[in-house]
Structure 1
Amino acid sequence: MCESMDDVTQAVLAKNDGLAASLRDELTGRGVTVVNLLSSPGSGKTELLGRVLARAVEQGVPVAALTADLATENDAHRLARSGAPVKQLLTDGLCHLEARQLRGHVESWLPADTALLFVENVGNLVCPASYDLGESLRIVLMAVTEGEDKPLKYPTAFGSAQLVVLTKTDLAEAAGFDESAFLAHVQRVNPGVEVVRSCARGGEGVDIVLERVLAVRDGAPVHRPPLAPRPHRHDDAASGLTAGRVS
């Protein structure tokens, strides 16, 4: 009897979840806190991450970053300006990262003294939301230019967030962004989650994001959203395909 596509997809996700749980235990035992950053393309997460990395380096925090893209090493070059160790992962078209890929980089590249590892996921609010990477903290970012209804359109991403960052707040008035509606939509899909406002180029929100991450590293309780639905239908995920090339 043939398995349905849903059965295969759920099996792939279940396998990933098992690997992620094992990786989380392993990294926690090593004193490494992993932060998974999810957003649409153009949200400003690379700009914000670069400034958070630079601030961590200034404070003497052993920090590193893995950044994933379908092509180019542009983001890795930008993030490396922070002074933190950075590694680019090219996915050859795959729209998300999986725990298996992260494990491979932890084993082959991660500096031994790392205390914080930021993972900049592929720019996409659909596929990456279904995959646990073994992170200790999941941050979902959204720019004001994307519209206040995005939490309702992407409930799996926003519903699984342990912290939400609203970026490019300096453009809110020009974009006609309704922040009150946005905050209401976030709370509808993820009651109780904190929302941090950020304008990375002006520095707003950078210190707060780093403070929240360091608090998790130091054992502060993390917001635990209810289990979000994972209606992930994708041919690559269902067939178990993963990235084939790493820079």
Structure 2
Amino acid sequence: MIFRQLFEPDTCTYSYLIGCEFTQKAVLIDPVASEVDSYVALLNELELTLIYTMETHVHADHITGAGQLRDTLGSKSVVHRDAGAMCADLLVTDGVPLQVGEVEILVLHTPGHTAGCVSYVIGDRVFTGDALLINGCGRTDFQQGDAGMLYDNITQKLFTLPPDTLLYPGHDYNGKTVSTIKQEIATNARLGGGKTRDEFIKIMANLNLAYPKYIDEALPANQACGQLDKQSQVIQG
């Protein structure tokens, strides 16, 4: 399997390129609009054909590159059916398997950060978007956030994956690139160490986070697959 972890520094967003080395077909998880030219150059360099752009959720902190990549390369946008992005080509649900060449992708619906959050299981790794981060998790005070629901989905779906499963998040603000399910079960500051559902809900209720910097521009644009207002794509991330 061809794998690249890509980083957009303004919003500390990770995007992921996964390709089949036999068929040269590829997917991009959580592409960022400002990075589209770099993605196209990398795909050309690796001689890959982009089949899907796969969102983990409708983002509030950056504009997706899905629409631009669809126009440029003919790729199809994948979003959960509850995400509120009816512009997508493929609206998926929990347990849906996708196949790209020899690469098998399993969709896990993991709402709580937003109603339409999904994680993608690919081989020995899981791409968790903003639901489960390294030593943290996504906020639950916007976009149909629900702390109890997030706890249930992380503990019942993500924490039940094989312990050595590699965890690749949607963001990291401290330079970390990868964790494991075992590590997050043991040490995650919000969910690890056996924290109860009630403890987690209390932690999330007392975070006192600032209003998301780009949400007013990013959210409506992402509900239109990044193309509601092409001028808004000057937002980095």
Q: Name the structure where helix makes up a greater proportion of residues.
A: 1
Considering Cα pairs closer than 8 Å and 6+ residues apart, tell me whether 1 or 2 has the greater RCO: 1
State TM-score, norm by structure 1: 0.31
What is the TM-score of this pair, normalised by structure 2? 0.32
Task: Report the structure, 1 or 2, having the larger strand content.
Answer: 2
